[in-house]
Amino acid sequence: ANKLRAALTMLGIIIGVGAVITLMSVGEGVQAYITEQFQSIGTNLFFIIPGSFEQELKRPAYLTLKDVEALENPAEAPDIRRGAPLVQGGASLTIPGKERFSDVSGITGAYAIVRDWDVAIGNFITAVDEQAQSRVVVLGQTTANYFFPDQYDPTGEFVRINGVPFRVIGIMAERGGSNFQDEDDVALIPLNTALSRIFPRRTNTGQPRLSFIYVQATSEDRMDAALEEAAQILRQRHRILPGEPDDFTAISQSDIIGTFQQITSVLTVFLGAIAGISLLVGGIGIMNIMLVSVTERTREIGLRKAVGARKRDILMQFLTEAIMLSTFGGGIGIMLGARGAALATYFLREQGFHAVLTANAITLATLFSAAVGLFFGIYPAQRAAGLNPIDALRYE
């Protein structure tokens, strides 16, 4: 009966510590996953998109090739190494007997450089392809495997994009899941070809409209300077007056990572508070069982005091029992939490997620469970230590 009672008492501690360990492991894993996802975009990189949250809807916001030329001017932007314009959208890709809706991106040769993405088979898009508006395409691994599963080298084959035939000239190296999507499910075509045949988007002055611009800084240390230079150039080109909001948004990897880490931190704290309630319930359970134990062992306490046990000895005895009970429950909770983290990793393995169980989390959980036992064991221990030995020996 006592063993069952002790097990039920530890249940709250076990659940609370297990939840804390699982949440901390998943939280660490999420932060590592987010960092990895956005670092895969490229090095020393930020991107600029048209429009901003502060912009009033008085005029449309555009990015153009002239903006890219201005950003690449070393006299105006010495901390910017290169810009990579991009126009992007979904499109239907077909070959006889097969069809797939994939992301199609119109890009320049700079795209592979800023994204640090190699070609596995064949060639990448060249300046000649861009100038000639060639109907050539470089496929991602997922797209290539779908259309040509039995061909190691499908270069020379044709794929229709929105009905327009394109010759396959290369296959990109496998990138895997990054940026929260399958980056290998893509078709890359020359920018000018995309603007003329697939995405003929124009500004009100007739200039081609870009989806966004990748901008690579000269080094990581010069990222802030490059961001400032880009903002000044675009504000000047777009005739934005002092005090007016930008009609574009520049976003760096650190901005995105920081935002997601703030979100995950808030969620971790919120869910941790829920787990803390379980620990509180477990602590109250420990206090209750220790009070019952004091009542059941009243004669034992009286006998110990009668043969010379001091008040401090009785206090330490019951405090030690409470701490051991709580810590033992915490140990079981740590093992269950580690199992929960392993299950999270197992179910999310295809997305490349791995929960991270750190020594700090284990140490914190152990110390916290011991602290719960100490805090909630003080009152029962003091009550036991304060018993009168004569009254205790008379207790029936």
| pLDDT, tens only, 19-50 | 888 888 888 888 777 777 666 666 688 989 99
Rounded average pLDDT over 231-247: 89
- Inter-residue contact 327 to 319 (CB < 8 Å): no
Q: What are phi and psi of 44, to 5 degrees?
A: 50, 45
Rounded average pLDDT over 277-281: 81
Query: Does position 209 have pLDDT exceeding 70, yes or no?
Result: yes
Of the ranges 23-37, 175-189, 306-320, which is most confident? 306-320
Question: How far apart, in whole angstroms, are the C-alpha atoms of residue 273 and residue 279?
Answer: 10
Q: What are phi and psi of 228, to 5 degrees?
A: -65, -40
CB atoms within 10 A of CB 118: 11
Question: How far apart, in whole angstroms, are the C-alpha atoms of residue 349 and residue 345?
Answer: 6
Question: How far apart, in whole angstroms, are the C-alpha atoms of residue 190 and residue 32?
Answer: 34
Of the ranges 12-26, 67-81, 173-187, which is most confident? 67-81
Tracing tokens 């045949």 back to the chain, one arrives at: 197
**Per-residue confidence band for 275, with pLDDT thresholds at 50, 70 and 90:** confident
**Per-residue confidence band for 124, with pLDDT thresholds at 50, 70 and 90:** very high
What is the 8-class DSSP label of residue 109? T
Is the full-model pTM beyond 0.75?
no
Give percent helix, percent strand, percent coil of the chain, each to the nearest 5: 55, 20, 25
- Inter-residue contact 147 to 159 (CB < 8 Å): yes
Rounded to whole angstroms, the maximal C-alpha distance in the chain is 105
